[in-house]
Amino acid sequence: MTLKSILKEVSASACALILTASVAIAQWEPSKPIKFYISFGVGGPLDTVARVVAAELENQTGWQVIPESRAGGGGVALATQLAHGSTDGTAIGMLVNMPILINLVRKGDELPFDLDSFTYLGSAATAEKGIIALADAPFSTIPELIEYAKANDIVMGAAPGPELFVYNALNNAADGNIRKLATEGSKEALTFILGGQVDVGFGAGIHFPYLDSGEMKVIASINSERLTYAPDTPTLVEEGINLSIDPFFYIIAPQGLDTEVANALTQAIAGAVDSDAVRDVVNKLFQRDPTNYGPEGTRARLEEGLVTVRNIFGK
C-alpha cells in the first residue's frame, strides 16, 4: 500500500474514529494518571502544541493527563524511555520526526530503539520552516546570501539536528564563510537575529508577527514545498541546494499495548487534535490546521522520511 493510499484511508476514516471514541474510551480507563512526555524544552512550538493536546485529552476523556518535559538528544532520550516503558497506556509522548530519523540513520546500531519499538497513535501538526533574516539584510535569496557570505563573513543560528545539515550545505556553497552559532530552537534563533548576534536563522512560526510588521523576511523554505504563508519564496531545492526537511509532530507509546488500549488512546488523541483549542494554537504557530495522519499514516511518513535521510547521508 502506498503512502498516498494510506493517507487517503486515514482521512476517510477520521470522522468515524472520532465518533466512536466515546465508546472505546468507556471500555478502557487508565489505572493511574497518564504521563504525556514532551521531547523538547518548555516554550517551543512542539512543547506548546503538546501541552494543549494533553489538556484537551484530559478535558474530553476525564482522564488525568500530566504533561512532562523529557528533553535530550532531539528526542532520543524520550524515545529510549518509551521504548522500554510501561505498556499499560499511561506513558505516551510527542516527538518531532527529523532528529529521530537522523539519529537512526547515523547511529542506529547504538540506539536502543528503532521504528518497530513503538505503538503509533497519530500526529498533531506539520511544521513549515523557513530561513529568516531582518528585512534590511543585504540578501533576499539563497544565491544572494551565498555571494554576500563569500565577501563578508556572516553568522547563522542553527539548532542541533536538521538545521545543521542546511547550515553545512550553505556554508559549503559559501566556501566556508558562514560561521555557526548554536541555538536551542526557533525562539532563541529569533532572539539572536533581532539582537544582531546572527545574520540569518530558522523560523518555524514564532517569527510571524515580525513578518507582519515588516521587520523580518523569509529567504527560503526548507520544506519540500513552498511555505503556505510565503508562496512566492522558493524552496532550497529551487535555489540550487538539494536538501529538504519536512518536520511533523507525532505521538507514540511503547510497543506492545493491548489493542483496546491502543484504540482508546488513538481515538482520544484524534478527538483532542480535532478540537478548537488545538486548531487555534496550531494556526497561531504555523498558520495552518492540525495534521493527524493516524497510526498507519504516521508510521508510513516516518518510513518515507527514513529513506529521505538515508539519501542525504548516502546510506
Q: DSSP strand E in 226-315: where?
A: 248-254
Angle in degrees, CA 251, 229, 146, rounded to 5: 100
Provide the mean pLDDT of the chain: 89
pLDDT per residue as tens digits for the range 20-76: 444 445 489 999 999 999 998 888 889 999 999 999 999 999 999 999 999 988 899
* DSSP type of residue 234: P
Beta bridge partners of 66: 35
Contact 77, 70 (CB under 8 A): yes
Q: DSSP strand E in the chain: where?
A: 34-38, 65-69, 91-96, 118-126, 130-134, 154-158, 178-182, 201-203, 216-221, 248-254
- The pLDDT of residue 201 is 95
Task: Tell me the whole-structure pTM to 2 decimals.
Answer: 0.78
pLDDT per residue as tens digits for the range 123-158: 999 988 899 999 999 999 999 999 999 999 899 999
Determine what percent of the chain is predicted with pLDDT higher than 90: 70
Q: Averaged over 269-283, what is the pLDDT? A: 97
Q: Output 227 or 204, whichever has higher pLDDT.
A: 227
- Strand ranges of the sheet holding 130-134, from the earlier edge strand across to the other edge: 201-203, 130-134, 216-221
Residues 6+ apart with CB under 8 A from 60: 268, 271, 272, 275
pLDDT per residue as tens digits for the range 157-190: 998 777 888 999 999 999 999 999 998 777 888 9
Per-residue pLDDT at 301 exceeds 50: yes
- 315: confidence class by pLDDT, cuts 50, 70, 90: low
Per-residue pLDDT at 120 exceeds 50: yes
Residue 116: closest CA among 83, 161, 140: 83
